[in-house]
């Protein structure tokens, strides 16, 4: 599979927008479009940078399904969406662009019995986004509209809650929907602590 290492984590059901200008990735996209294989893998860079190569990458990522490609003034705008998780079996030669043999992981399965946990987790995530927005730009509104499909909604909650990339990367390893919701809630509570603390009193 063609691979696009990034400095951020892509989760299933989450959108991805890229401005592509490196020659190797422009070549990759042209090959995918020509082969009508509208997907590539996204992995988080562990050490190094997105531009120039020579980076070290995590061994698990998410397939990005290409939705739209627009070229203008030598830069390609790409819109995609995360779908299936995978593990890296073996990295291949980066020339002419990164590629790897991958093992696709089973999709998580929704269970109606998890509805109360989903509701509770969503309330926590939205409350945390509201609190965090008072301190910094979170990238997501507390009122953001999520998917009707409950499984997609679970992943989207994991994608919008204000976590670091290493925490988000850990969510890719969950084995069940219940674990995903519990881990999302746990990490969100940890992230929420600084936002929910009262302002220190002015002692002057």
pLDDT bucket at 93, cuts 50 / 70 / 90: confident
Q: What is the CATH number of the domain that holds 73?
A: 2.30.130.40
Is residue 73 located within the same domain as residue 10?
yes
Q: Which residue has the tokens 């990295």?
A: 91
Instruction: Examine the pLDDT at 81 and tell me if it is beyond 90.
Output: yes
With 0-12 / 13-18 / 19 or more C-beta atoms within 10 angstroms meaning exposed / middle / buried, residue 90 is exposed
Q: What is the mean pLDDT of residues 23-39?
A: 87
pTM of the model: 0.87
Query: What per-residue confidence (pLDDT) applies to 10?
Result: 97
Pair 125, 62 in one domain: no
- Summarize the confidence of residues 30-37 as an average pLDDT: 84
- The boundaries of the domain holding residue 51 are 3-104
Could you give the C-alpha distances from 134 to 28, 33, 130, 163, 199, in angstroms and in order?
40, 42, 7, 16, 12
Q: How far is CA 60 from CA 39, 78, 101, 103, 131, in A?
A: 16, 22, 12, 9, 31
Q: Mean pLDDT across the stretch 120-149?
A: 89
pLDDT at 139: 79
Judge whether 54 lies within some domain.
yes
**What CATH number does residue 182 fall under?**
1.20.58
């Amino acid at each position: 599979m063609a691979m696009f290492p990034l400095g951020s984590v892509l989760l299933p059901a989450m959108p991805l927008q890229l401005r592509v200008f490196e020659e190797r990735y422009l070549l990759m996209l042209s090959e995918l479009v020509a082969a009508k294989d509208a997907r590539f893998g996204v992995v988080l860079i562990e050490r190094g940078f997105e531009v120039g190569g020579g980076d070290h990458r995590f061994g698990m990522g998410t397939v990005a399904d290409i939705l739209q490609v627009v070229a203008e003034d030598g830069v390609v705008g790409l819109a995609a969406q995360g779908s299936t998780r995978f593990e890296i079996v073996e990295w291949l030669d980066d020339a002419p662009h990164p590629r790897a043999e991958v093992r696709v992981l089973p999709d998580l399965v929704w269970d109606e019995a998890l509805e109360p946990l989903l509701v509770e987790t969503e309330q926590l995530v939205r409350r945390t986004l509201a609190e965090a927005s008072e301190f910094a730009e979170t990238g997501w509104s507390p009122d953001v509209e999520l998917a009707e499909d409950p499984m997609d909604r679970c992943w989207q909650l994991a994608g919008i809650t204000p976590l670091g990339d290493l925490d988000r990367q850990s969510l890719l390893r969950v084995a069940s929907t219940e674990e995903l919701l519990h881990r999302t809630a746990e990490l969100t509570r940890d992230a929420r602590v600084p936002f929910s603390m009262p302002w220190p009193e002015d002692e002057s």
